[in-house]
Amino acid sequence: MTSTTSAATAAPNSSPAPAARDHKWIILAIVGLAQLMVVLDATIVNIALPSAQADLGFSNDNRQWIVTAYSLAFGSLLLLGGRLSDIFGRRTTFIIGLVGFAGASVLGGAADSFGALVAARALQGVFGALLAPSALGIMTTSFTEPKERSKAFAIFGAIAGSGAAVGLLLGGVLTEYTSWRFCLFVNVVFAVLALVGAIVFLKARGVVAHKPKVDVPGVVTVTAGLVGIVYGFSNAETSSWSDPVTIACLAAGVVLLIAFVLIQQRVKHPLLPLRVILNRDRGGAYLTVGLAGIGMFAVFLFLTYYMEQTLNFSSLKTGVAFLPMPLSIMFSATLFGSRLLPRVGPRLLIFVGALIAAGGLALLTRIGLDSSYAGVVLPGLIVMGLGMGLIFSSAMNTATSGVAREDAGVASATVNTAQQIGGSIGTALLSTLSANAITSYLDDHGRTPTDLANATLSGYHLAFWIATGVFLIIALIGGLLIRPHGVRQAEVAAAGEHSGSDVPVAAH
C-alpha cells in the first residue's frame, strides 16, 4: 500500500499515525488491554452481585440494574463514540475513554448506596462507548499489511471473545479474597497501564482542514432506538415479553432505528455511512459477531447456574472452571486463525469455526444431575472455544477491512454494537425460553425436589440447543453471505491499482 499527501491530510485530527514497525505490537498490547477491561466489565460484576447486595442492601428486583445500567449506556452510545473518534482522533478519544472509565470505576468501587453504584456503572458504559471503538479503530489503521493484520486481529479477536470468561474468573478471585469493590477498583490498574502506553507510543497526526459535523438527528434516533431495544430485552428477562413496557420499548426501538436508517440516507455527514454496513463481507461479519454474542451468553449464563447450583461450585471455582474456554479461544485464534486467514479468507474460517462451536454447545446438552465437570463441561468449553477463536479472529478483521480511514471508528463501533446487542438479546431470549421450559416440565411431572432439579436441567438443555442452532445460522452466513476468497483478493488487487490511499483495503 502507498500513501498520498491527500490521504494523510484527510485523516482526522489526533488519529494515531502509522506505528513504527517495532511499536506496532506494543500498540496491540495497549489497545488489547483496554479492550479486555471493557469486555470483562460486562461479567466481572455478576459474580460480585450477591456480596454487593448484602453490603448495600438493595432488593433482588433492583439487582439487575447493576448490569443493565452498564449495557444500556455502552450499547446505545457506541456509534456516537465511534464517530467522535473519527472526528477528534482515536488517540484523543482513547485517552479520554481510559481516564473516564477509571474514574467511573473508582466511583463505583467507593459507592455507599445502590443509586451511586448504578450511576457509576452507567458512567462506565458512557466512557466504554468512547474507548472500545477507538481501540479497534487504532488497530484498523495501525495494521494494514495482510499477514500482520491477520495476526494482530487474531490476538485482538481472542481478547474480545474471551474477555467475558476472564471477567468471571477475575470476579470470582477478587470477591473470594478481597471485596466486591475490587471488581471495580481493578480497572484502574488496566487503565493506568494502557494510559501510559498510549501517551508514549500513540502519536498524533496533524490538524485537518475540515471536520464533518456531528449528525445530531442520527445520534438522537440511534441512541434512543438502541436504548429501547436493550432496555426492552432486559425488561423481558425480569418481567415478561407481554409486559406493556417490554412491548413499548421494543416497538419504539425498532421505529427509531428505521428512522435512523432513513436519516443516514439523506444527511451530508451521516453518523453511520451506509456504505460501511452494506458491503457483503462487512455486513456478514457484523451479523456473525452479533449472533455469536447470543450463543456465548448462553454458555456464560446457564453454565454458571449449572456449576454453582447443581455441581455446588463456589464463585471462585466457577470462574476457574471457565478458564479452558478463553485459553482455547486464544490458541485457536492465534495458531490457526492468524495463519489461515490470509490463505483461505474469512468465509471458510467462519463456516468451520461456527460448526465447531455448534458441536461444543451440542456436547453441553449432555449435562445431567450426576455429570462430572471433566467428563461433560470441560470438553464442551474447549471445543466451543476452538470454534469461537476462528470466528472472532476472522469476523473482527473482516468487519473493519476496506473502510476509509475516516470511517474506521464508526466501523469499529458497529462491531461492538453488534456484540452488545447480541448479548442483550441472547440473555433475555434464552432466559425466557429456559424459564418456560422449566414451568412446562413441572406442570407435566410434579414439583418434588428431584422434579425441580430435572426441570432446571431441561431449561439449560433447551438454551444450549437453541444456541447450537444460532451457530449453525452463523455457518450459513459465513458460507453464503461472505464472498469467496478469490473474489475478495481480486477486489483488493483492483483497489490497490486504482487507489493511492492508505485505506486498509486488505480484507484477508
Grid cell locating 68: 443493565
More confident residue, 413 or 495: 413
Position 212 scores a pLDDT of: 65
Over the range 57-72, which residues count as b (16 or more CB within 10 Å of their CB) and which as e?
ebeeeebebbbbbbbb
Ramachandran angles phi, psi of 16, nearest 5°: -65, 130
Residue 479 pLDDT > 50? yes
Neighbours of 98 (CB within 10 A): 30
pTM for this model (two decimals): 0.83
**Do residues 109 and 180 make contact, with C-beta atoms less than 8 angstroms apart?**
no
Residue of 508 and 118 predicted with greater confidence: 118
State the CB neighbour count (10 A cutoff) for residue 392.
30
List the grid coordinates of 498: 486504482
Using alpha carbons, list the distances in angstroms from residue 329 to 33, 161, 165. Answer: 17, 7, 11
Give per-residue pLDDT as tens, 278-329. 888 999 999 999 999 888 877 888 888 899 889 998 878 888 898 899 899 9
Q: What is the spatial distance between Cα 103 and Cα 119, in angstroms, rounded to a whole number?
A: 12
pLDDT at 11: 41
Question: Does residue 279 come out as left (phi exceeding 0), alpha (psi in the -120 to 50 range) or beta?
Answer: beta
pLDDT at 489: 64
pLDDT at 14 over 50: no
Total residue length of the chain:
508
Q: What string of H, E and C letters represents the secondary structure of 441-477?
A: HHHHHCCCHHHHHHHHHHHHHHHHHHHHHHHHHHHHH
Confidence at residue 153, expressed as pLDDT on a 0 to 100 scale: 86
Longest dimension (CA), the chain: 75
Cα separation of 245 and 265, whole Å?
31
* Phi and psi angles of residue 204, each rounded to the nearest 5 degrees, phi first: -85, 150
The pLDDT assigned to 445 comes to 87
Mean pLDDT over all residues of the chain?
84
232 grid coordinates: 426492552
Q: Which helix (H) or strand (E) holds 202?
A: none
Q: What is the pLDDT of residue 487?
A: 64
Q: pLDDT band for position 17 (50/70/90)?
A: very low
Q: What is the pLDDT of residue 211?
A: 66
Give mean pLDDT, residues 210-223: 84
Higher pLDDT, 41 or 191: 191
